[in-house]
Amino acid sequence: MSTELTTRQKVEAGLARRRRKEFTFRLVGMFATAVGILFLVIFFATLLGKGSSAFSQTFLQLNVEFNEDVLAPNGELDLIYADFDGLIRTALLNELPDVSGRGERRELYRLVSIGAGYQIQEMIAQNSELMGTTQSIWVPVSANVDMLMKGNIDASLDESLRPLSDWQIGWINKLDQAGRLDKKFNTALFTNGDSREPELAGIKGATMGSFFMLVVTIALSFPIGVAAAIYLEEFAPKNRWSDLIEVNINNLAAVPSIVFGLLGLAVFINWMALPRSAPLVGGLVLTLLTLPVIIIASRAAIKAVPPSIREAALGLGASQMQVVFHHVLPLAMPGMLTGAIIGMSRALGESAPLLMIGMIAFVVDVPGSFTDPSTALPVQIYLWADSPERAFAERTSAAIIVLLGFLLLMNLTAVIIRKRMERKW
Partner 1 sequence: MSTKRKVFAGISTTVVSLALSATAFAQSGRDYVYVVGSSTVYPFATVVAERFGRGSEFKTPKIESTGSGGGLKLFCDGVGVDHPDVANSSRAIKQSEFDTCAKNGVTAIVEVKIGYDGIVIANALESISMALSRRDIFMALAKEVPGDSEGELIANPYETWADVNSALPAVKIEVLGPPPTSGTRDAFVELAMEGGCKTVPWIKVLKSSDKNQYKAICHTIREDGAFVEAGENDNLIVQKLQANPNAFGIFGFSFLDQNKEKVKGATVDGIAPTFDAIADGDYPVSRPLYFYVKKAHVDVIPGLRGYLREFTSERAWGEEGYLSDRGLIPMPDEERSAVATNVRELTPLSLGNQ
The CA distance from 230 to 324, in Å, is 8
Give the containing element (helix H, strand E) for 144: helix 143-149
33 or 335, CB closer to partner 1? 335
User: Which residues of the chain form contacts with partner 1 (CB under 8 A)?
Assistant: 80-81, 106, 110, 114, 118, 153-154, 157, 160-163, 195-197, 215-216, 219-220, 223, 273-278, 280, 325, 358, 360-365, 369-371, 373, 383, 385-390, 393
> Closest approach of Cβ 110 to partner 1, in Å?
8
> Closest approach of Cβ 114 to partner 1, in Å?
8
349 or 358, CB closer to partner 1? 358
Q: Return phi, psi of residue 184, to 5°.
A: -130, 170
> Closest approach of Cβ 369 to partner 1, in Å?
6
66 or 384, CB closer to partner 1? 384
Amino acid letter, 401: I
Q: What angle do CA 403, 406, 407 make, to 5 degrees?
A: 85
140 and 116 Cβ atoms separated by less than 8 Å: yes
Sheet holding 181-185, edge to edge: 134-140, 56-65, 181-185
DSSP line for 167-215: HHHHHHHHHHHTT-EEEEE-THHHH----SSGGG--SHHHHHHHHHHHH
126 or 177, CB closer to partner 1? 126
> Closest approach of Cβ 222 to partner 1, in Å?
8
Helix axes 279-303, 240-252, angle to 10 degrees: 130
61 or 195, CB closer to partner 1? 195
The CA distance from 225 to 93, in Å, is 64
276 or 303, CB closer to partner 1? 276
151 or 388, CB closer to partner 1? 388
Q: What angle do CA 344, 296, 227 make, to 5 degrees?
A: 85
The CA distance from 156 to 169, in Å, is 10
